[in-house]
Amino acid sequence: MSKVVFITDAEMLHHETGAGHPERTERLRAIIERMDTSSWRERLDWQTPSEAPLNWITTVHDPAYVRFVEEACLQGRETLDAGDTQVSHDSYLAARLSAGGALAAVDAVMGGARAAFSAGRPPGHHACPARAMGFCLFGNAAIAARYAQQAHGLERVFILDWDVHHGNGTQEIFYEDPTVLFASLHQFPFYPGTGAKRETGTGAGQGFTVNCPMLAGSGWPEYAEAFEKNILPHAREFAPELVIVSAGYDAHNDDPLGQIRLETEDFAKMSRLARGLAAECCQGRLVCLLEGGYNVQALADSVEATMEVLCEE
Ligand SMILES: [Zn+2]
């Protein structure tokens, strides 16, 4: 049986966000160390990403916005939006690599890998077509979905977003699009303010956005119910040819940003549900892309829990 592909690159540690910022280099460093220092190394097919070509980034982003990000980083600007999306000189390169990791993950599973996890930063699900937001520069999951459709000829892609924050960027990009099913579980009301249950898509995309808002304090019982009653039925009906998970780990009980009470083993449970769905619908094609997760220990533990599930026979 083929291995699980693990994609990351220490180059992305050069995306510096300034003192005290939650989306800091230690996050990725802890994940790399965890994967590198256990028996994991042999169980995984390690790959480093190439920079995502601009023609794929611009499938979801305005070319002028991409140029703006490049110039802002190279010119030494420190913030790209109202304040929380901090950048440094090498952030544009990191964002191209982070998106490139998403493309490599799609290539891996389309080439028969058991599953693929791309541990990249900056994250992507808040990035809008022409705007950076919420620590995100380029919409990695959205770019991966378009790449799967246009480079690999898939018709239907399912993006499951379990980051504690609503993936407003991904939702916006596919809101009118019936070829990408977007489902999100997130704390609500909470940043960024979107993700109400009534947001279900528009036009041809009506019914292809599924929001599962969770009150602060929710935990596995509420998540399990949302999967069983809402997410899995919608996903099965959609019959995706690829499952992409926007895998944020900030719904962890120990996370300093969110107030959701998932434990490390609950991320294993969600990973198993995603894997089961992919096995059922699309020959197991499952791509996980790192989003948030701001308690470094809980993040490394929970990524490891996901990898354990992806590697299960
Ligand atoms: Zn988040």
Q: What is the pLDDT of residues 271-313, one digit of tens each?
A: 999 999 999 999 999 999 999 999 999 999 999 999 999 999 8
Q: How confident is the model at residue 1 (pLDDT cuts 50, 70, 90)?
A: low
39 pLDDT band, cuts 50/70/90, is confident
Evaluate whether 108 touches 116 at the Cβ level (below 8 Å): yes
Average pLDDT value for residue range 88-108: 98
The CATH superfamily holding the domain 4-311 is Histone deacetylase domain (3.40.800.20)
Cα distance between residue 136 and residue 121, in whole Å: 8
Percentage of the chain modeled with pLDDT above 70? 99
Taking the centre of ligand 1 as the mean of its atom positions, its distance from the CA of residue 2, in whole angstroms, is 31
Summarised one tens digit per residue, pLDDT across range 111-131 is 999 999 999 999 999 999 999
Q: What's the CA-to-centroid distance between 35 and ligand 1, angstroms? A: 22
Using left for φ > 0, alpha for ψ between -120 and 50, and beta otherwise, residue 219 falls in beta
Compute the average pLDDT of residues 10-16.
96
Q: How far apart are CA 161 and CA 145, in angstroms?
A: 13
The predicted pLDDT at position 303 comes to 98
Give every CB contact of residue 128 below 8 A, 6+ residues apart in sequence.
Answer: 139, 168, 169, 172, 173
Confidence of residue 188 (pLDDT cuts 50, 70, 90): very high
Q: Please, how many CA atoms are within 13 Å of residue 39, restricted to the half-sphere of its CB? A: 2
Distance, CA 123 to ligand 1 centroid (Å)? 9
Q: How far is CA 251 from CA 13, 185, 194, 296, in A?
A: 23, 9, 17, 13
Q: How far apart are the C-alpha atoms of 168 and 187, rounded to whole Å?
A: 13
CA–CA dist 182, 161 (Å, integer): 8
Q: Domain residues of the chain, as ranges?
A: 4-311
Nearest to 7 by CA among 288, 313, 262: 288
Distance 140 CA to ligand 1 centre (A): 14
Look over the chain and give the mean of its residue pLDDT values, rounded to a whole number. Answer: 97
Instruction: Tell me the CA–centroid distance for residue 164 and ligand 1, in Å.
Output: 5
Catalytic residues: 126
Ligand 1 centroid vs 61 CA: distance in angstroms? Answer: 20
Distance 153 CA to ligand 1 centre (A): 30
**CB contact burial 210-245 (16+ within 10 A = b; e otherwise):** bbbbbeeebeeebbeebbeebbbebbeebebbbbbb
Given this model, what pLDDT does residue 42 score? 87
| Mean pLDDT (whole number) for 126-144 | 97
Encode pLDDT of 46-85 as tens digits: 999 999 999 999 999 999 999 999 999 999 999 987 678 9
Structure tokens given for 115: 């599953």
Residue-level pLDDT at 189: 98
- What average pLDDT does range 16-31 have in this prediction? 96
**How far does residue 48's CA lie from ligand 1's centre (Å)?**
24
Q: What is the pLDDT of residue 123?
A: 98
On the 0-12 / 13-18 / 19+ scale of CB atoms within 10 A, 257 is buried
pTM of the complete model: 0.98
Q: Please give the distance, rounded to the nearest whole angstrom, from the Cα atom of residue 161 to the centre of ligand 1.
A: 10
At position 159, the amino acid (one-letter code) is: I
Closest CA to 163 of 53, 104, 250: 250
